[in-house]
Structure 1
Amino acid sequence: MKEHTYFKIGGPADVMAYPQNINDVSRLIKFCNNNNIDYFVLGNGTNLLVRDKGIRGLVIKVDDNLNDIKVECNKIIAEAGAKVSRVAKMALKNSLTGLEGASGIPGSLGGGVAMNAGAYGTELKDVITKVKCIDENGDIKEYSKEEMHFGYRHSRVHEEKLLVVEVEMEMEKGNYDDIKNSMDDYTERRNTKQPIQLPSAGSTFKRPEGDYAGRLIDVSGLRGFRYKDAQVSEKHCGFVVNLGNATCEDVLTLIKTIQKTVKDRHGVELQREVLIVGEE
């Protein structure tokens, strides 16, 4: 699985399937249910930490083929496997404003919608109108923005075993140059402030109320602190990075150390943002 995650960490999966379309995904889930097979749906693997023993059952990888993007006037309809950055570029091409802040998010749209990903004061829910999902029975269902129960790094996907397969977004027409300038500015900020040159799962912790995880970790004296090849980024303390040969257990040990240190020194309990999956 380390070949399928940004963290470059994770043991083997039993089987991996590459569905060609939404109906394929539905059929795979129904097959797993009918045969009592565990399954995990994988997008772009950006916000994921896979355990060292890997994943049992079937991994359904959706980002390779479910990546169609259509533009209809001021609407974009995109499949879940499309990268958020690619959807943002499509918005720019059509002078649609609303995805500038998301232009640097590296993950797939499905994963981004599931966690209501955001950056620079914006969230994906700001432009979403409808979301097509597959439920745990393999049935395709459609939800309005309100029915998705969006919150900070939260959606209905977390409340039920749902899989996002298609998203409809509605945006306003804007000025191409203004949109591009904003995207370029956000890209420059990301490139200069985040450790994008090293494997990671993005922000390791959710933002605590009224503060920032990176600041708390920094003032706790943990900038650059490492356990084996897992390290608190020297560039941005909100990121745990893989220096080359870190295992899942190394990263989890470091995360627990960070959480305990911040709790002891500042009374704040940092909550993980990164998703952990696989056999313990």
Structure 2
Amino acid sequence: MMIVNILNTGCLVEKNNKFVVESKVPIKYDVLMSNYTYTLTGGPAQYLAEPKTFAEISYLVKRSIEFEIPYLILGNASNVIVSDQGLKGLVIITTHFSEIKNNGLKLIVDAGAKLKDIADKAAEESLTGFEFACGIPGTLGGAIFMNAGAYGGEMTDIVKEITALDAKGNIKQYSHDEFSFSYRHSLAQDQNLVILQAVISLQVGSRQEIITKMKELNDRRAARQPLELPSCGSVFRRPPGHFVGPMIQEAGLQGKQIGGAQVSKKHAGFIVNIDHATATDYINLIHLIQETVFQKFGIHLKPEVRFLGFDEQS
């Protein structure tokens, strides 16, 4: 997430109108984030734009800095919970910025490309190494931001170079080692970087074996996870030596419901939206899980999801 502090000036309204009206990239007002988030929750974004190129993203970021408008970059919004009160400033959605190019054993991928589409492209080119991410519901930018992983693989294993905007809106290149990957962490979180593109390094493989592996992983995911319902994916990070789902089960919370949010009956590590849940329902249920698990096991579950627009982060 990238936030730039906003100044409380008397000319704020006038500046904001100019910010939108004179923008070279279309900016919309008061757009419900529930139309974009995987949980189907979240209030209105003050402003929202959907750029399609490097230049448009860079322009929006620099314009936000110039006008002292907070800005936030989102891809698929699959691992976020947005406040019911919405988000101040400009939300930049990257899903239309999604080109995938082949370059030998490498794929050059825009940040807004969906992981599923990247996996399909890799399979098409008989390149192996990306199968682990084929079912992760997100875009490359978000996956790199949090070093997403599944089934024994992580973004750090395959990402070799990253192009990103720094906090001043300047385009910079980073090597894998410079990006400080660790469990669900990257340099982007520390320095508020906007990931634009990455080079993914893969290996030659059998197309049929790659496709078969992807099907196996997707079948496993469908059998174990509540993909049929809106959710924000895995809610908590895995504590060393423990599995989150069984801990929540043993704490007696599987199926627990607050408002329209429910601890999934299929996998207790997920919270699903079963009846017009609000972000507040999600937050309250997350807090209940944390408190109950801590009381029973003495372990604090740290959220894997990102909380946006809340005064206090969970």
TM-score by length of 2: 0.88
Aligned-residue identity in percent = 41
Does residue 278 of structure 2 align to residue 260 of structure 1? no
Q: Secondary structure at the match of 1:101?
A: helix
1:29 positional shift: 1.0
| Contact 1:38–1:56 under 8 Å retained in 2 | yes
Say which of 69, 72, 88 aligns to 1:40. Answer: 72
Deviation track 1:92-149 (CA, whole Å, cap 9, x = no partner) reads 0111110111110110110001101110011011111101111111101110000010
Match of 2:93 in 1: 61
| Contact 1:56–1:279 under 8 Å retained in 2 | no
Match runs of 1:97-136 below 5 Å: 97-136=128-167
Q: 1: CA distance between counterparts of 2:94 and 2:132?
A: 24
Does residue 156 of structure 2 align to residue 156 of structure 1? no
Match runs of 1:219-234 below 5 Å: 219-234=250-265
Bigger relative contact order, structure 1 or 2 (CA pairs below 8 A, ≥6 apart):
1
Q: 2: CA distance between counterparts of 1:191 and 1:270?
A: 24
Equivalent position amino acid for 2:216 in 1: D
Does residue 52 of structure 2 align to residue 20 of structure 1? yes
Q: Secondary structure at the match of 1:179?
A: helix
Deviation track 1:41-98 (CA, whole Å, cap 9, x = no partner) reads 111110111000001111111112x100000111000000000110011010111110
Match of 2:247 in 1: 216
Q: 2: CA distance between counterparts of 1:254 and 1:52?
A: 15
Q: Secondary structure at the match of 1:269?
A: coil
Match of 1:184 in 2: 215
1:212 positional shift: 1.1
Q: CA RMSD in A?
A: 0.8
1:279 positional shift: 5.0
Stretches of 4+ aligned residues off by more than 2 angstroms? none
TM-score by length of 1: 0.98
Q: 2: CA distance between counterparts of 1:39 and 1:118?
A: 26
Q: Secondary structure at the match of 2:109?
A: strand
Q: 2: CA distance between counterparts of 1:21 and 1:224?
A: 43
Match of 1:240 in 2: 271
Q: Secondary structure at the match of 1:9?
A: coil
Larger Rg: 2
Match of 1:2 in 2: 34
Deviation track 1:165-203 (CA, whole Å, cap 9, x = no partner) reads 101011110111211111110000011110011111000
Q: 1: CA distance between counterparts of 2:298 and 2:59?
A: 48
Q: 1: CA distance between counterparts of 2:67 and 2:209?
A: 53
Equivalent position amino acid for 2:45 in 1: A
Equivalent position amino acid for 1:259 in 2: Q
Q: Give the paired residue count.
A: 279
Q: 2: CA distance between counterparts of 1:154 and 1:215?
A: 24
Does residue 128 of structure 2 align to residue 94 of structure 1? no
Equivalent position amino acid for 2:133 in 1: A
Q: 2: CA distance between counterparts of 1:192 and 1:91?
A: 24
| Contact 1:127–1:170 under 8 Å retained in 2 | yes
Unaligned runs of 5+ in 1: none
Q: 2: CA distance between counterparts of 1:250 and 1:107?
A: 23
